[in-house]
Amino acid sequence: MADRIVEAYTGEYAAGKSENALNRALELARRGRLVTLVDLDIVEPFYTLRPIQDELAAHGLTVLAWKTGETMGLGEAGTVIKPAARWALRRDGDVILDIGYGVGGSRTLNLVEGAGSDPDLKVLAVINISRPMTASVADIVQHVRDLGRVDGLINNTHLGDETTGEVVQEGARVVTEAARILGLPVVATAAAAEIAEKIGQADCMDNPVRPLTRFMQKAMW
C-alpha cells in the first residue's frame, strides 16, 4: 500500500472542489487503480456527486454518495452523512474525498474515521482567483490558513465559458506566490481539457497541468 493515494479536496464555496476531486478519481481509475470517491459536502450541497454517481461508477469508480431519491427533505433537514462515508478510509485502494465548503474548512475530515492518523492523506485546497474572496495573494494566504490543515494548493482559476489561457496563467502566478508564502506546494493547475492542451504539460510557473472534463454543470442537486 506504499503508493496508496488519499486526497481530500477542500477550499472556498464554488472553487471547484468536486470537479477536481472527481477528475482526479477518474484519472486514477484510468490508470487501472482501485478508487473510491466520497461526497462529504454538508453545508449546502447543490452541485454534488449525487446526480452523476452512476455515470462516474460506469467509469470504474466506487462512489460513496446518497442518491437524491434516497434522501428526504434536502435543504430542510440537515445533510445526513452516508454512514459508508465515515468509514471510507478503511477501504482498499485510493480514496478521494470531496469535502464541501464552510467555516469548518478541513475540519470536516474529523467526521471520517482515521483521517487524523492516515499516513497517506493529503489535504488539497482548490483556488480560483476569479472568485473575489480569493482573488489576491493576501486573501488566498488568509483563506488557506483559515481552512486548517492544508498540504498543497491547486490552481483552478477559470471563468466558466469565458475562460482563456491567460486567465488560467494569471491564476498560476497568484496561487504560486501564495503557496510560496504558505510554504506549500502547488500540486497542479487544473483547466478544461481544451485549454489545458493549449497550455501544455506545465503552466507558466512550471506547475503540472491537469486537464479537466467538466461534469459538474449537469450535476445539480
Pick the piece of the chain touching another protein (CB under 8 A) from 34-42, 51-59, 153-161, 196-204: 153-161
Cβ-proximal residues to 182 (8 Å cutoff; 6+ apart), any chain: 141, 144, 145, 150, 153
Pick the piece of the chain touching another protein (CB under 8 A) from 67-75, 87-95, 108-116, 179-187: 67-75
Question: Residue 39 CB, nearest distance to another protein (Å)?
Answer: 16
Q: Does 75 bind another protein (CB under 8 A)?
A: yes
- CB closer to another protein, 61 vs 129: 129
Site for another protein in 116-135 (CB under 8 A): 128, 130-133, 135
Question: Residue 19 CB, nearest distance to another protein (Å)?
Answer: 10
Q: Are strands 62-64 and 152-155 parallel, antiparallel or unpaired?
A: unpaired
The identity of residue 64, as a single letter, is: L
Q: Does 46 bind another protein (CB under 8 A)?
A: yes
Alpha-carbon distance of 10 to 147, in angstroms, equals 8
Question: Residue 14 CB, nearest distance to another protein (Å)?
Answer: 5
| C-beta of residue 189 within 8 angstroms of C-beta of residue 207 | yes
Cβ-proximal residues to 210 (8 Å cutoff; 6+ apart), any chain: 20, 23, 24, 27, 154, 188, 189, 190, 191, 196
Q: Does 69 bind another protein (CB under 8 A)?
A: no
Question: Residue 191 CB, nearest distance to another protein (Å)?
Answer: 13
Closest CA to 126 of 95, 105, 104, 108: 105
- Phi and psi at 196, nearest 5°, equal -60, -40
Closest CA to 133 of 8, 10, 13, 9: 13
- CB closer to another protein, 58 vs 103: 103
Q: Are strands 121-127 and 186-192 parallel, antiparallel or unpaired?
A: unpaired
Q: Of these, 5, 14, 111, 204, which contacts another protein (CB under 8 A)? A: 14
Q: Does 162 bind another protein (CB under 8 A)?
A: yes
Interface ranges with another protein (CB under 8 A): 13-14, 44, 46-47, 73-76, 128, 130-133, 135, 158-162, 220-221
